[in-house]
Amino acid sequence: MNKNKQIIKKVGLPPGTLLHIGSARSEQIKIKMLCYNCNDWSEMEIDSIDDIIKDQDTENICWIHSSGVHIVKIIEKIGTIFKIHPLVLEDIVNTNQHPKLEENEDYVYVILKMIHCDENKKIEFEQVSIIVGKNYILSFQENDNDIFKQIRDRIKSTPGKIRAKGADYLAYALLDCIVDYYYVALEYLGERIEVLEDQVMLDPKPEVLKEIHGLKNEMLFVRKAVWPLREIINALARGDSTLFQKDTLIYLRDIYDHMIQVIDSIEMYRDMVTGMLDIYISSISYRTNEVMKVLTIIATIFIPLTFIVGLYGMNFKYMPELEWEWGYPAILCIMALISLGMIHYFRKKKWL
């Protein structure tokens, strides 16, 4: 279903009404629960929401990840177990949300956009929602591609820093993973810009203009998805929330520095794309001017020749040159000399 039609269906509904807005999907939502501490870990796939156990007194950190948000009943049950506000759940199932941060007494809620390249080297955007509690993390992603696999592998492999710290450090790891994907997407965009630059300079075809406009629109969506995250990370790094320990704030500040670099790269690429559009227009104008110059030179060379032909094409009886034996070859030689002289003059002036 079209997103605009889905939004229209939401008009007039009470606040907190869960209505999925996004790409239609028919498969079942996949939910994984990974619990860990310094010494051990356990992972299970949730077949029934009743299998989720919320125990605030346990020393384990529980990370519950949902691949898909299109079945609102499941999202609503998870929210009931963890006492998540209905307005937050409403934002989770609405994949058309802008990145934002909401701080609650018991949890912190973050919406951000995941950017990655698909198999066809096309930029795709995916909404990711993260809820950070005292000893739990709830993460919801729009699709079922496993974007946090590396973090799960780190938790399972060795009892490192991520298992020694709390849920706030796991939240940092998730945010850092998403920002790392930004670098991958920007590298791909940079390669496309380099290829387009060469095409604009060497062979500015109409197809190149279409690619430039497509890339410009992609850069606009990337900026729209990434720019708000800078303020979100900055707000978390200030340490206003009691759920984030002081020793985690330095890691959040590191993400903030990365976000500044990402945003600077996005602005630079946008300027480069805009510059390519100007170069394309200039190249087309230059080529047009070159063609017009050649045509003008050809027309200029033939102007005196046309005059001579027109002069001797007049029907006068008494034209002495008409009776000359060598009149015809002489006129041809004069016309040739005029043409060669004009060509020499144009080259001397560097018009040719």
Cα angle 30, 34, 35; round to 5: 150
pLDDT (tens digit per residue) in 321-348: 767 777 778 878 888 888 888 888 878 8
- Percent of the chain clearing pLDDT 90 (strictly above): 28
Query: What's residue 316's pLDDT?
Result: 63
Mean pLDDT of 302-309: 83
- Percent of the chain clearing pLDDT 70 (strictly above): 91
- Where do the structural domains in the chain lie, given as residue ranges? 3-282, 315-352
* pLDDT beyond 90 at 301: no
- CATH T-level topology, domain 3-282: Beta Polymerase; domain 2 (3.30.460)
DSSP 137-183: EEEEESS---TTHHHHHHHHH---HHHHS-HHHHHHHHHHHHHHHHH
pLDDT (tens digit per residue) in 245-297: 899 999 999 999 999 999 999 999 988 888 888 888 888 887 888 888 888 88
Looking at every residue in the chain, the average pLDDT score rounds to 84
Mean pLDDT of 42-49: 84
Distance, CA of 115 to CA of 178 (rounded, Å): 8
222 or 146, higher pLDDT? 222
Q: Are 52 and 46 in contact (CB under 8 A)?
A: yes
pLDDT (tens digit per residue) in 50-101: 777 665 556 789 999 999 888 889 999 999 989 999 999 999 999 888 899 9
In single-letter form, the type of residue at position 58 comes to T
Query: What's residue 58's pLDDT?
Result: 66
